[in-house]
């Protein structure tokens, strides 16, 4: 569909909920564990959240490809708000006094602090990197869709993820770890995690094709952002 007429969508709210859930879980649970997998004779070390964080970009690709940039923009803001709320909630919950009559709660408190008490610097870097990276991803995909006239979906999903994940990594790692890690370590971490996330997205491309095709058919929608305002500072559709 061309243009911006309003209509009811059957699955947009479910996709929004899924996007926010993946985003929160990959940011809250994922960073708590580093994995080491042996690939033949080469050890592969990565944050567990990197397995699932690219799924949020797949949601972003699907949203922009089917529903358009403006609706994707609203969902990105919903995720942004959810991350801020989660960060505030974590600080409040962890700072509340523990019930000393509950031995389980007393023993659990150090584990909760260790898992969820990220420094303000890391939280800020994570939220800012998500915001800029996701908007970059959505913008590139929308523009590429017009350029390719809706053909070659894989070029848009991978190309937009390449931009979005690169921006995400280049913002997050320097902001979060510069001065704590060496410059070489920051660069290596940013480069590896960016490549790893793009590889996950590429491997999941067939699934993206299936979901996009099914949604376009179910929603009777295939939006082209030919007259869209691409400012990120708006909630208008």
Between 59 and 25, name the one with better pLDDT. Answer: 59
What range defines the domain where residue 199 resides? 12-219
Report yes or no on 186 lying in a domain. yes
145-160 pLDDT per residue, tens:
999 999 999 999 999 9
133-146 pLDDT per residue, tens:
999 999 999 999 99
Report yes or no on 91 lying in a domain. yes
Average pLDDT, the chain: 90
Q: Quick check: 52 pLDDT over 90?
A: no
Q: How confident is the model at residue 2 (pLDDT cuts 50, 70, 90)?
A: very low
Q: Quick check: 50 pLDDT over 70?
A: yes
Report yes or no on 67 lying in a domain. yes
Tell me, what's the pLDDT at 44?
77
Half-sphere exposure of 191 (CA within 13 A, CB side): 6
Report yes or no on 230 lying in a domain. no
Report yes or no on 27 lying in a domain. yes
CA distance 210 to 142: 19
Report yes or no on 226 lying in a domain. no
Report yes or no on 154 lying in a domain. yes
Tell me, what's the pLDDT at 235?
92
Q: pTM of this prediction?
A: 0.90
Report yes or no on 6 lying in a domain. no
CA distance 104 to 102: 5
Number of structural domains in the chain: 1
Q: 137-158 in b/e burial notation, b at 16+ Cβ within 10 A?
A: bbbbbbbbbeeeeeeebeebbe
162-182 pLDDT per residue, tens:
999 999 999 999 998 899 889
Q: Which of 49-58, 133-142, 193-202 has the lowest mean pLDDT?
A: 49-58
Percent of the chain topping pLDDT 70: 96
């Amino acid at each position: 569909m061309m243009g911006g007429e309003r209509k009811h969508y059957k699955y947009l709210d479910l996709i929004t909920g899924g996007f926010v859930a993946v985003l929160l879980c990959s940011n809250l649970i994922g960073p708590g564990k580093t994995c080491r997998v042996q690939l033949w004779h080469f050890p592969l070390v990565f944050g567990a959240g990197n397995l699932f964080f690219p799924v949020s970009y797949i949601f972003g690709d699907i949203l922009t490809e089917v529903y358009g940039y403006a609706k994707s923009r609203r969902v990105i803001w919903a995720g942004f708000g959810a991350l801020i709320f989660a960060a505030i909630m974590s600080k409040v919950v962890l700072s509340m006094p523990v019930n000393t009559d509950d031995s389980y709660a007393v023993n659990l408190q150090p584990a909760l602090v260790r898992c969820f008490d990220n420094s303000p610097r890391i939280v800020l870097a994570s939220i800012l990197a998500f915001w800029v990276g996701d908007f970059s991803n959505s913008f590139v995909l929308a523009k590429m869709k017009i350029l390719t006239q809706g053909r070659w979906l894989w070029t848009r999903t991978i190309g937009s993820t390449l931009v979005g994940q690169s921006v995400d990594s280049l913002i997050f790692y320097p902001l979060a770890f510069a001065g704590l890690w060496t410059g070489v370590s920051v660069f290596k971490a940013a480069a590896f995690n960016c490549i790893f996330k793009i590889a996950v997205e590429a491997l999941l491309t067939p699934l993206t094709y299936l979901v996009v095709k099914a949604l376009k058919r179910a929603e009777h929608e295939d939006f082209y952002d030919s007259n869209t305002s691409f400012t990120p500072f708006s909630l208008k559709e």
